[in-house]
Amino acid sequence: MSEPPRRRVAVIGASADRRKYGNKAVRAFARRGYDVVPINPHEATIEGLTAYRSVMDVSGPIDMATVYLHPDMGLKVIDDVARKGIREVWLNPGAESPALSARARALGITPIEACSITGVGESTED
């Protein structure tokens, strides 16, 4: 019997700096068995994974996204998230805003305003 496919998560605002939550999320999701896709236009790799400039540069589907950007930047990328067909987006503390959540909902995306690291059962203290 084959294993079910792993869920694929885009970490938008992924960071190479291990002290930042955008890096901690990459590691947390990987530990939980997700196929992690770091999104950062300024990095080639993060935690050994290929980093992409945008979710639009990633081939194949993405099941969910977790955002580690200022809400103003989130508003600039949320349309690409919708175009990519991602229907679940975690807006982490500091990334959430009423305007961003409203825009996500208008695009057919379910926004979750919570810490995605703890949401998958990991600690933010690593």
State the Cα–Cα distance between residues 90 and 113, nearest whole angstrom.
6
User: Which DSSP symbol is given to 6?
Assistant: P
Q: How is residue 119 written in tokens?
A: 């949401």
The pLDDT of residue 126 is: 72
Rounded (10°) angle between helices 71-83 and 98-106: 10
The pLDDT of residue 3 is: 58
The pLDDT of residue 2 is: 55
The pLDDT of residue 125 is: 84
User: Which DSSP symbol is given to 41?
Assistant: T
State the Cα–Cα distance between residues 124 and 126, nearest whole angstrom.
6
Domains and CATH numbers, the chain: 8-119 (3.40.50.720)
Averaged pLDDT, groups of 10, the chain, 126 residues long: 76 97 97 97 97 98 97 97 98 96 97 96 85
